[in-house]
Amino acid sequence: MRLMNRLVAFNRAMRLRRQLTEIQKLIDGLPPRMQPQLAILVRRELDLAGKCESPVLYGTPEDHPPGDFGTGSDVGLVRARSESMQARMRGIALWIAVVFHESRGSKDPQMLTLHRGIITVLRQFREVEQPTDATVAWMGNGNSVSVN
């Protein structure tokens, strides 16, 4: 049973790492003017996920059977592939928030590598210039998660 659990964890980590590569390409493909808005969305999603009882299940439908992980990352990836720019940005933000919380604190070396990749993406958002007041008003005010 222990071997099976390790195999499932390894497959999950590898799948999420491939998805991270796709998410990074989607982020890089966004127009530079959209980067500050995406940074706001990511911080908001991280904050909302962090407030959940189980952040790993954030974005998972309530009727989903309980398990080790939810479907929030899958939902986020489907949205991130959307043609709609707003749906794409919200999907990217959801995916990052769910995978950040899923990989944080893991003892699995593959998940730690994934978490480092997520941290690298979050650092890119810190380097983005601050959004204008109009952008903040459009996105709505809210508390954000600080990523150091």
CA angle 146, 90, 74 (to 5 degrees): 100
Q: How confident is the model at residue 146 (pLDDT cuts 50, 70, 90)?
A: very low
16 has pLDDT over 60: yes
| Nearest alpha carbon to residue 48 among 62, 59, 36 | 59
CB 96 within 8 Å of CB 85 = no
Average pLDDT score over the chain? 84
**Cα gap 93→23, rounded to integer Å:** 10
Element at 143 (helix H, strand E): none
Element at 106 (helix H, strand E): none
| Nearest alpha carbon to residue 36 among 126, 128, 122 | 128
22 has pLDDT over 90: yes
Q: For position 107, what pLDDT does the model report?
A: 87
**Single-letter amino acid, residue 54:** S
Q: For position 66, what pLDDT does the model report?
A: 63
pLDDT tens digits, one per residue of 59-111: 777 776 666 677 889 999 999 999 999 999 999 999 999 999 989 988 889 99
More confident residue, 141 or 119: 119
Q: For position 148, what pLDDT does the model report?
A: 43
Q: For position 143, what pLDDT does the model report?
A: 47
